[in-house]
Amino acid sequence: MRALYAVALSLAATLAIWHAAGWLAATAPEQAAALALGLLAGALAADLIAGTVHWACDTWGGPETPWIGGNLIRWFREHHDDPVSIARHDGLEIDGPAALAAAPALGLLALPPAQAWVSARPGLYGFLWAMCCVGALANHLHAWAHSPEPPRAVRALQRAGLLLSRRAHARHHRLPHTDHYCIATGWLNGPLDAMRFWRGLEVAIQFTTGASPRADEGSARDLPPHTEIS
């Protein structure tokens, strides 16, 4: 798996740079605003996707769930018990799984038919590129939010609110772990929690399917508050 992760990371990084060079060279000055908006929207989309995966794994099923329980769901649940463990893994373990998804997506975007279509649409190109790249980095951005000593430039971006910070992400690690799910940039945590977005999804799914959120953990939302886990 480590060898596969290494190949996926190398391919994803190469394709990301190739795409960036392409749309920078092809974007006319009057298209710069559309490209910038696309990049911003793509980063927000990646934050939403990462948050949705996180919410789903915290809320539904359990470690015994077929296909994804033993790895994906178990990883998120155990992360609550030992939050800092993510910072003890190396880059292959942190970024490899996401790269396995990002590399094929960036590869498909590099095919001639896709290039012919998105090259004339810089806003869309920027959106797809940022969604793939920020999504691929979500676990690393999450790990930096648990690291006691992230790189200096990362700390500056965290303080500016441009990256998920240790203090902001610590809110998710209070019992009952039912908010602040977004772990890429964290930009959407405030708006989504204010809208009670995740609770609305849970009510809709429960009404539609009869399944209860966090059924394997009891009524987690009724648990008392806990001190923050950094």
| Section 181-200 average pLDDT | 95
The whole-model pTM stands at: 0.86
pLDDT of residue 84: 80
Q: Locate 64 and state its tokens.
A: 């015994």
CB 113 within 8 A of CB 121: no
pLDDT tens, 93-152? 888 889 999 999 999 999 999 999 988 899 999 999 999 999 999 999 999 999 888 899
Higher pLDDT, 228 or 35: 35
Helix residue ranges per DSSP H, 60-187: 74-81, 91-109, 112-118, 122-144, 152-159, 166-169
Q: Which of 70, 29, 54, 35 is nearest to 178 (CA)?
A: 54
Residue 222 has pLDDT above 60, yes or no: no
Amino acid at 113: P
Confidence of residue 217 (pLDDT cuts 50, 70, 90): low
Q: Locate 63 and state its tokens.
A: 């470690």
Question: Percent of the chain beyond pLDDT 90?
Answer: 59
pLDDT tens, 33-71? 999 999 999 999 999 999 999 999 999 988 888 888 777
Amino acid at 76: F
Q: Locate 140 and state its tokens.
A: 């690393």
Calculate the alpha carbon distances from 92 to 10, 58, 117 in Å.
11, 24, 33
Q: Which of 82, 60, 77, 135 is nearest to 104 (CA)?
A: 135
pLDDT of residue 140: 92
Confidence of residue 32 (pLDDT cuts 50, 70, 90): very high
